[in-house]
């Protein structure tokens, strides 16, 4: 009787199938890669496979950057595949790597890197390899590159930092007396200063002072809360019991401010989804809007008077703001051969050098030769919040955390209830403690 397949065999087969499913519809781009995996043959030396999860404006800009690379390296057959954002992407990337069929290089959120590393699915970047392509740690935003360094080894090359920011309608804010003589927004670095500004903006709009998504969106309430909690110096995942998930006193204080803005002061709508919050701001029905900087393209397309600045320091502690970073990773269980590694690093360096194109979408470049250039400093309003990159607070490392993760679903759902007035802050924080604790006590699936 033939021997039964081992668990590793099953995982590998599953990975191959997942890889095939992941690229359905664009199979021609990876057909050779899949075939070489089944036959055991090496991929062609001039083929470079690249997976990402970048849609919308980010996807358009990435395709533009890929086009520049193709012109720079006409001898390289770059095969880029864009997959569905969030958990589906990371599941496919993990299974493809387990199945020995990963792309040569992939995009990963920085908050997802520790989980991929702990599962043995990423190869590190050696400093001497990076040096051959002019990349060293001192040329990157230190907060991002240090977070990408695990046990002294660099596992990800950060392309950007994308922080939670504050958009404001310049016409409304001027009428409300909120602009300085140079046209910039007056400082709003306290809880009362923000509340007062939102009331003044509401008097102008006759509708709302600000807008933030609170329903049918778990990520935004989490980003809002984590920015406030970070400014209080709050810690996360200190252990696995509910009492060790976060610091209740600081968490409740942050949640109370969220409730104050919507339920008590009534300066922001309590029940509005992501698209609705965008519409409120774009239509001049609110003077402020709180979201990731990537929405800059939306408001530029709307041709409305607006600007952007960092999310204010509302809690009075050391400045902090929630953020994540897009990074390049090497998804493989085996070390790369020199020629293939250099092919990948040449691609990564090209992407970094095109960070001005990437920055037009709002993201802060991690590549300092671009971020510290006069050209980037002149890029407005994007460069207004460049300092947020070195004050970024990232989701804690855990197999269930990171952008688009189960952690955000549990926490964001509870905090959305606070914004909408359905849940008291104390109850929401307890809900987070219990829900996250269950995941913290569950072994990682890979």
pLDDT tens for 15-69 read 333 333 333 333 333 334 444 444 445 556 799 999 999 998 899 999 999 999 9
pLDDT score for 403: 84
Residues 365 and 410 in one domain: no
Span 217-242, mean pLDDT?
96
pLDDT score for 402: 87
- Residue 189 is given by DSSP the state -
User: pLDDT above 90 covers what percent of the chain?
Assistant: 86
Residue 148 lies in a domain: yes
Residues 215 and 116 in one domain: no
Span 271-292, mean pLDDT?
97
SS3 of the chain: helix, strand, coil, percent, to 5? 50, 15, 35
Residues 97 and 107 in one domain: yes
Residue 31 lies in a domain: no
Tell me the per-residue pLDDT of 124-183, one tens digit each, with 9 for 90 and over.
999 999 999 999 999 999 999 999 999 999 999 999 999 999 999 999 999 999 999 999
Span 80-91, mean pLDDT?
92
Cβ neighbours of residue 232 closer than 8 Å, sequence gap 6 or more: 250, 253, 254, 315, 317
pLDDT score for 36: 43
Specify the number of domains making up the chain. Answer: 2
Residue 301's pLDDT band, with cuts at 50, 70 and 90, is very high
Residues 199 and 83 in one domain: no
Residues 306 and 354 in one domain: no
pLDDT score for 44: 66
Q: Is 86 exposed, middle or buried (0-12, 13-18, 19+ CB in 10 A)?
A: middle
Residues 312 and 188 in one domain: yes
Residues 311 and 403 in one domain: yes
Cβ neighbours of residue 144 closer than 8 Å, sequence gap 6 or more: 110, 158, 161, 325, 327, 366, 389, 392
pLDDT score for 77: 97
Tell whether the model's pLDDT for residue 233 goes beyond 90.
yes
Lowest-pLDDT range of 14-23, 77-86, 186-195: 14-23
| Domain ranges, residue 143 | 44-161+325-378
pLDDT score for 18: 38
pLDDT score for 43: 58
Mean pLDDT of the chain: 91
Residues 237 and 143 in one domain: no
Span 228-234, mean pLDDT?
98
pLDDT score for 87: 83
CA–CA distance, 95 with 263 (Å, rounded to integer): 45
Residues 216 and 248 in one domain: yes
Residues 173 and 121 in one domain: no
Residue 83's pLDDT band, with cuts at 50, 70 and 90, is very high
Residue 388 lies in a domain: no
pLDDT score for 322: 98
Whether the ω angle into residue 381 lies within 30 degrees of 0, i.e. cis, is yes
CATH number at residue 233: 3.40.190.10
Q: Is 327 exposed, middle or buried (0-12, 13-18, 19+ CB in 10 A)?
A: buried
Residue 239 lies in a domain: yes
Residues 184 and 308 in one domain: yes
Residue 222 lies in a domain: yes
Tell me the per-residue pLDDT of 333-356, one tens digit each, with 9 for 90 and over.
999 999 999 999 999 999 999 999
pLDDT score for 21: 36
| pTM (two decimals) | 0.89
Cβ neighbours of residue 263 closer than 8 Å, sequence gap 6 or more: 270, 421
Tell me the per-residue pLDDT of 372-427, one tens digit each, with 9 for 90 and over.
999 999 999 999 999 999 999 999 999 999 888 899 999 999 999 999 999 999 99
Residue 226 lies in a domain: yes
Residue 32 lies in a domain: no
More confident residue, 405 or 78: 78
Neighbours of 5 (CB within 10 A): 11
Scored b (16 or more CB within 10 A) or e, 265-287 reads bebbbbebebebbbbbbbebbbb
Residue 156 lies in a domain: yes
Residues 234 and 207 in one domain: yes
pLDDT score for 342: 98
Span 292-310, mean pLDDT?
96
Tell whether the model's pLDDT for residue 363 goes beyond 90.
yes
More confident residue, 20 or 326: 326
């Amino acid at each position: 009787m033939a021997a039964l397949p081992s668990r590793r065999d099953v995982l590998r087969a599953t990975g191959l199938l997942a890889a095939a499913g992941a690229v359905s519809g664009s199979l021609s781009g990876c057909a050779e890669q899949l075939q070489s995996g089944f036959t055991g043959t090496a991929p062609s030396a001039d083929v470079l496979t690249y997976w990402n999860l970048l849609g919308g404006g980010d996807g358009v800009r990435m395709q533009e950057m890929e086009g520049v690379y193709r012109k720079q390296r006409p001898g390289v057959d770059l095969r880029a595949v864009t997959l569905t954002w969030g958990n589906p992407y990371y599941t496919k990337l993990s299974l493809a790597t387990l199945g020995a069929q990963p792309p040569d290089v992939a995009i990963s959120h920085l908050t997802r890197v520790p989980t991929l590393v702990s599962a043995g699915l990423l190869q590190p970047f050696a400093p001497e390899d990076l040096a051959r392509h002019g990349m060293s740690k001192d040329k990157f935003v230190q907060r991002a590159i240090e977070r990408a360094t695990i046990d002294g080894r660099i596992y990800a090359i950060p392309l950007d930092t994308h922080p939670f920011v504050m958009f404001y309608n310049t016409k409304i804010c001027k009428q409300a007396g909120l602009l300085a003589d140079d046209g910039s927004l007056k400082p709003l670095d306290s809880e009362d200063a923000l509340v007062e500004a939102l009331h003044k903006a509401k008097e102008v709009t006759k509708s709302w002072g600000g807008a933030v998504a609170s329903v049918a969106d778990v990520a935004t309430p989490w980003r809002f809360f984590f920015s406030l909690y970070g400014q209080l110096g709050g810690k996360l995942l200190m252990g696995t019991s509910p009492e060790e998930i976060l610091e209740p006193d600081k968490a409740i204080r942050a949640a109370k401010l969220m409730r104050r803005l919507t339920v008590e002061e009534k300066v922001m709508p309590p029940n509005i989804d992501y698209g609705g919050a965008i519409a409120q701001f774009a239509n001049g029905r609110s003077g402020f809007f709180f979201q990731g900087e990537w929405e800059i393209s939306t408001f530029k397309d709307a041709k409305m008077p607006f600007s952007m600045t960092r999310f204010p320091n509302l809690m009075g502690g050391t400045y902090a703001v929630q953020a994540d970073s897009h990074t390049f990773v090497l998804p493989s269980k085996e070390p790369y051969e020199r020629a293939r590694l250099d092919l990948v690093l040449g691609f990564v360096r090209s992407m970094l050098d095109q960070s001005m194109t990437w920055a037009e979408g709002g993201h802060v470049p991690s590549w300092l030769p671009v971020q510290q250039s006069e050209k980037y400093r002149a890029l407005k309003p994007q460069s207004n919040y460049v300092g947020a990159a070195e004050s970024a607070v990232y989701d804690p490392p855990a197999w269930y955390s990171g952008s688009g993760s189960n952690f955000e679903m549990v926490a964001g759902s509870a905090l959305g209830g606070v914004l909408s007035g359905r849940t008291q802050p104390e109850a929401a924080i307890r809900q987070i403690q219990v829900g996250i604790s269950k995941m913290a006590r569950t072994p990682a699936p890979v």
